[in-house]
Amino acid sequence: MAYNEGLARRVRKTLSRLKAVSEIRMFGGLCFTLRGRMLCGVLKDDLVLRLSPEESEKALRAPHVRPMDFTGRPMKGFVYVGPRGWAGPGLAKWVRRAVEFAGSLPPKG
């Protein structure tokens, strides 16, 4: 299992009301985009979020959140949220934060 199918279903449901959301299989996981810009994703059991630099710094202070270090170095503006951080109603809150940031970016041309 490259990514948690249950988490992917919950993310899809959370994003279901938005137009211009696409899914792409990427890096052994699943990536969700909004108007061509990465929004969030699922990698193994982690929720991956793209946030503004300020929001990602705030997010890192929350329990069960850590820097995204897919390449061995932390990626600015990206965080992993572990299962205990996205369980229950917390998932919608995290996804909403990513939607706010991705929605502020121009569509990818």
What does pTM read for this prediction? 0.93
Q: What is the pLDDT of residue 1?
A: 55
Give the distance, in angstroms, between the CA of residue 29 and the centroid of all CA atoms in the same chain: 11
Q: What is the pLDDT of residue 36?
A: 92
Structure tokens at 67: 């820097």
Q: What share of the chain is helix, strand, coil (3-state, %, to 5)?
A: 35, 30, 35
Structural domains of the chain ordered from first start: 5-104 (3.90.1150.30)
CA distance 101 to 67: 17
Q: What are the helix (H) ranges across 3-108? A: 5-15, 53-59, 83-86, 90-104
Q: What is the pLDDT along the chain (109 residues), one digit of tens a residue?
A: 589 999 999 999 999 999 999 999 987 899 999 999 999 999 999 999 999 999 999 999 999 999 998 778 888 899 999 999 999 889 999 999 999 999 999 887 6
